[in-house]
Amino acid sequence: MNTPKNRFIKNLKRYHFELKHLLILLAVLIFFQVLVSFVYKISLQKFLIETQKWYQRDFAERLANLTATSLEMVLETTLKSRHLEYGDARKIIQAFNIILSQQLLQHHVQEVCILVHNGDEIVAIDNGQVLFAHTFENQHDLPFSNQSHRTAIAMYNQLEKQIITSEQIYSILEGGQTFHVFVPFVPKGEYAGAVYLKITPAFGFVTSSIMSGYNATSLIFTALIFFGLLAMFYISSYTVRERNEAQKLLFEEQEKKLKEHINLQKEVLFAKRIYHTHHKAEKVMGFIKEDLGMLSLDNIDEIKYRVNKYANFISRVIYDMKWFEPPIHAIRNPLFKTNLNELIRFVVNNIFLRTSTTSEQYSFDLDLDENLPIVNVNEFVVWEIIDPLVQNSIEHAGDSNIIIKIKSHYHREFSLSVISISDNGTGILPALLERNEQGIKRIFLENISTKNENQRSGYGCYIAYEIATQRCGWQMDVENLPDRGCCFKITIPHN
């Protein structure tokens, strides 16, 4: 049946996404409400604490002053009579006890006593009988309460001169709540000592009441906003639904265009990689044919060694063309035992020195440290790093008779090896040595080269840098030499 209730439930289901948005808004609102409440509570609590400190100090001083005044009045009234009978003495002692004990009946008063001199010693009196005997009978050998009021006596020792000089009330705050109050005890205008009270006024119930009221107000405020949001949701649901449908169509169209753009970029990148590796594979295949043509019984082992290296390099090139991100175990693996010096000699002697014009254009100077440890990296991956760096020195040197120096050195104290490839050419343009936001020099970025754009260049140094840093975990840098040329440096840590 199409009742209003069913229609409402059906419409609500159509707008379930908007309801989730409303719940998110409510959650954000509650979060900010809690945040505002927290800030307000902190500021209010700070205000209450400051007010409470002032009121507690005033309350403690007033209570102590009232106690001292009461004792002084009793003494002054009593001292007017020259002769005291037994009954009068008992009444005076009882009055002293009432004044001292009444303060202790209050839950925030922990300690009450009178601090006076007994000879050269400061003593504490907290009962009427001792006070009467000390004041009226001048007795000195009395059961004073010094042990119970050691803190008060110690503090009075430090404040006595100030109290005598100023005849003002002194109060010391301890722990933010407890007050030690010293009131000058001056019966008949003569300074006799000080009345001491230890008071801890408690006003936590005031703060609790204020906080409870504020929490109730916050809940009411949140409820009102919640119902206001419900009303806004009911009014704007149709508009939101139309907007979502338009956004859905727009997103679908953008998604389609983005997929097409990504696929196009992948195709362009794959085509560039194929072109970059095709030239190297083509040159190595020419060396293989050349070696097979020179094959004889005398050089069969040498030819077999070279052809095997060439074939494995071509396999690696094809493997890289197949995988955009090859698995890590195909690059770094404990099974790989690569001798970097041997690899450098092979690449120089059997790749760059096999062309007929090498003696006229460039030459090599190898300075290899025989203590260089082996590395657990596929040797053909290292080949892909060394080859473009040497090729860069050949193509960008500028002049003939270029000397390319390759040096390896093992720093035993730092447990790392350094391979440097330098030349005496024209060097690298300063603009290519600038770093980007990630700290990478521009020469190691994709599509960055000094060649003409139609030569499809800018991948050699980029690929070498990416393989060395991302796949092998090494470091690579380049800089111009002080005299002439440039130097690529590869740092290999041995863990």
Is the pLDDT score of 358 beyond 70? Answer: no
Per-residue DSSP letter, 470: I
Residue 456 pLDDT = 45
Separation of alpha carbons 354 and 163, rounded Å: 106
Q: Kind of pairing, strands 486-493 and 475-480?
A: antiparallel
Query: Closest by alpha carbon to 150, among 97, 198, 104?
Result: 198
**pLDDT one-digit tens code per residue, 50-66:** 776 777 777 777 777 77
pLDDT class of 246 with cuts at 50, 70, 90: confident
Range 116-130 average pLDDT: 83
* CA 2/CA 10 separation, integer angstroms: 10
Are the beta carbons of 115 and 193 closer than 8 angstroms? yes
Interior angle at CA 384, CA 381 and CA 385, nearest 5: 95
Q: What is the mean pLDDT of residues 265-271?
A: 64
Rounded to whole angstroms, the Cα distance separating 150 from 495 reads 68
SS3 349: helix
Determine contact, residues 396/428, Cβ cutoff 8 Å. yes
Give the model's pLDDT for residue 476. Answer: 95
The residue ranking higher by pLDDT, 432 or 45, is 432
Residue 478, classified by CB atoms within 10 Å of its CB into exposed (0-12), middle (13-18) or buried (19+), is: buried
Residue type, 173: L
Predicted pLDDT of residue 151:
86
Lowest mean pLDDT among 97-101, 237-241, 261-265: 237-241
Q: What is the pLDDT of residue 488?
A: 95
- Per residue in 132-172, pLDDT tens? 787 777 777 788 887 888 888 888 888 888 888 887 888 88
CA angle at 391 for the pair 387 and 395, rounded to the nearest 5°: 175
How far is residue 399 from each of residues 359, 363, 423, 424, 427, measured CA to CA in Å? 13, 12, 11, 9, 11
Q: Specify whether the CB–CB gap between 19 and 233 falls below 8 A.
A: yes
Side by side, which strands form the sheet with 121-125? 121-125, 109-118, 193-199, 178-185, 170-174
Question: 383, 391 in Cβ contact below 8 A?
Answer: no
Residue 106 · residue 197 · CB < 8 Å? no
Rounded CA-CA distance 71/284 in Å is 115
Is the pLDDT at 448 greater than 70, yes or no?
A: no
**With 70 as the cut, is the pLDDT of residue 72 above it?**
yes
pLDDT digits (tens, 9 = 90+) for 9-52: 666 555 544 556 666 776 777 777 777 777 777 777 777 667 76
- What band does 421 get if pLDDT is binned at 50, 70 and 90? very high
Q: How far apart are CA 25 and CA 482, in angstroms?
A: 63
The predicted structure's pLDDT at residue 427: 86
Mean pLDDT (whole number) for 343-362: 78
At 492 the pLDDT is: 95
Q: Show the domains of the chain with their CATH numbers.
A: 19-202 (3.30.450), 325-493 (3.30.565.10)
> Is 83 a residue whose pLDDT tops 70?
no
Q: Identify the pLDDT of residue 375.
A: 94
pLDDT at 368 over 50: yes
Averaged pLDDT, 282-302: 86
Mean pLDDT, all residues of the chain: 79
| Residue for token pair 């009221």 | 213
Nearest Cα neighbor of 156 from 191, 132, 131, 130 is 191
Q: What is the mean pLDDT of residues 97-115?
A: 78
396-421 average pLDDT score: 87
Looking up tokens 């679908």 gives 252
